[in-house]
Amino acid sequence: QAHANVTPSPAALCRAAARWRPQRRKRQLQFGGRTVSGTWKSRKPVLSVVVCRGKDGTFSAYRGMNTEVSLPAGSLCAERAAIARAASDFQQAEDVVAIATADPQDKINPLWPCEVCQSWLSKLRPQSPEISVLAVSSSSCRSFLVKVNGEPQPPPQPMLPPSPFVGALAPWPELLELAEGTTEWPWEAKDLVYVDGAWTFLHSAQQSILRQARSRGSHLLVGIHSDETLQTEFNGPILESFQIRAGRIQQNRYVSSILKDAPWCLTLDMIQSLGISRVVTGSVCKRQDVGSDEDGAVDPYHVARELGILEVIPSLDETTERSVHESHVARARP
């Protein structure tokens, strides 16, 4: 009672503060073969990595971990900790290319940045407009999701393996695209079937050819002629652009992959490079399909015919791209 009204001196307060330590919950976790120790009020440790690209093109990774104390503004997210660590190593905002976050306990994965961390990233956007934000499905990091500026990104295409048929693939790798759900490249297929055309409107006869061609092998590669190729061959109007035709074919359920800007005439190099085992065409050939009545034109499949790998499938009917177009025009007339 005698000392109740005595005010402690500033020096005494400083000594008391120096001796004070908040009650902490220390935990150890195993993540990626490492033991992680830390203090978390919520018992939810979060780890993050920021990847920066140097001026010489090399990459550097900076790790961060969330830190929580019993103060309203005392918590620090793992993302901001990793960004701060990169900044302390004199990395600039324009150097940041990706940031990944994970819960090592696998309780809240996939984990995206909180609103505060998103605000931090938005401040970096003027200098680095396409920062990839990764959220892993589990602590194994075997699969992940990617967002750029809040927009989900499509999964990457598998890396192109070398062809077992020839030493060089010429231009084919740049022209190939796999359909959704396809993982093997054409030359990896057990039985590769090839069919090509303009595929304007994708009418019923064309769909029938695709269905039958798919049943002939394990992988159906569909060649799509460019607008320039069609104009060169027929010197007529392009009824549908290449982008529309290619997009429609790539979404067809029978198609495994597409070959953009496919050559009009199939070559031996193309057959050997891609490992084509069968070439399919309809009894109403692609030249008739686009409405050409030229006689004596070069057979675009003469190489496949000589190799004995060409199969002519009876077309569903006499429907052609030209007849479909004329039908549309007739219906549009008043």
Half-sphere exposure of 185 (CA within 13 A, CB side): 19
Q: What is the pLDDT of residues 294-323, one digit of tens each?
A: 555 688 999 999 999 999 999 887 776 666
Which residues are within 8 A (CB) of 100 and not within 5 positions of it... i.e. 6 or more apart? 48, 49, 51, 133, 134, 135, 136, 144
Q: What is the pLDDT of residues 27-71, one digit of tens each?
A: 555 544 555 454 444 567 888 899 998 888 888 999 988 887 665
Q: How many CB atoms lie within 10 A of CB 228?
A: 11
Give the C-alpha separation, 61 to 52, whole Å. Answer: 6
pLDDT band (50, 70, 90) for residue 231: confident
- Give residue 21's pLDDT: 43
Average pLDDT, the chain: 79
Q: What is the pLDDT of residues 107-137, one digit of tens each?
A: 888 888 888 888 888 888 888 888 889 888 8
My answer on whether 320 and 180 are in the same domain is: yes
Strand, coil or helix: what is 250? helix
Count of domains for the chain = 2
My answer on whether 142 and 218 are in the same domain is: no
My answer on whether 187 and 127 are in the same domain is: no
What's the CATH code of the domain at 102? 3.40.140.10
| Domain range for 304 | 172-291+298-332
173 pLDDT more than 50: yes
Q: Could you tell me which residues are beta bridge partners of residue 76?
A: 67
Is residue 46 within 8 A of residue 64, CB to CB? The reply is no
- Tokens of residue 183, six digits: 């993982």
